[in-house]
Amino acid sequence: MYEDCINKGLIDAINLSPYFQLLGITVEYANNGCARLKMKVKDDLFNLGGVIHGGAIASIADSAVGIALAATNKKNPNKLATIELKINYFMPVIEGEIIAEANIVFKGNQIAVGDVEVKDQEDRLIAKGIATYIVH
């Protein structure tokens, strides 16, 4: 899978980042403005209602767009930041894993926009988002 990805060392470093480790997120694929990330469902991500907290879902969605964007800018993949994130939630998740797939839909000189779908392991849509980034 890595053969089509952006810098393997960068993906390995992202996967080992403390935040990704905390949430259980891994990058599966990133290339040409697309990315796919997975997150394991674990009890410490549950809200008081016993489902994955919306913030955890927003984190994987935002991360997927950011990594997809980094995959378009191989010279300086870390020089970007989220400036807006909008997400709609459709159903709760209580077990398994969730998958976020993002695509960059616009990239200008300083602003980029990506969309993302978050699905459960049974391919049901649980959230849909759009993120705007500033590119330095």
pLDDT in tens, 19-33: 999 999 999 988 889
Q: Rounded to a whole number, what is the distance in angstroms from the first to the last CA of the chain?
A: 29
Q: What is the CATH number of the domain that holds 45?
A: 3.10.129.10
Contact 35, 71 (CB under 8 A): yes
Work out how many domains the chain is built from and give that number: 1
pLDDT at residue 47, as a whole number: 95
> Average pLDDT of the chain?
90
pLDDT at residue 8, as a whole number: 72
Each residue's pLDDT tens digit, 86-109: 999 999 999 999 999 999 999 998
Only one residue has tokens 């403005």, namely: 33
pLDDT at residue 31, as a whole number: 87
pLDDT at residue 1, as a whole number: 39
Domain that holds residue 58: 2-135
Distance CA 8, CA 124 (A): 29
Q: Which residues of the chain have pLDDT under 50?
A: 1-3
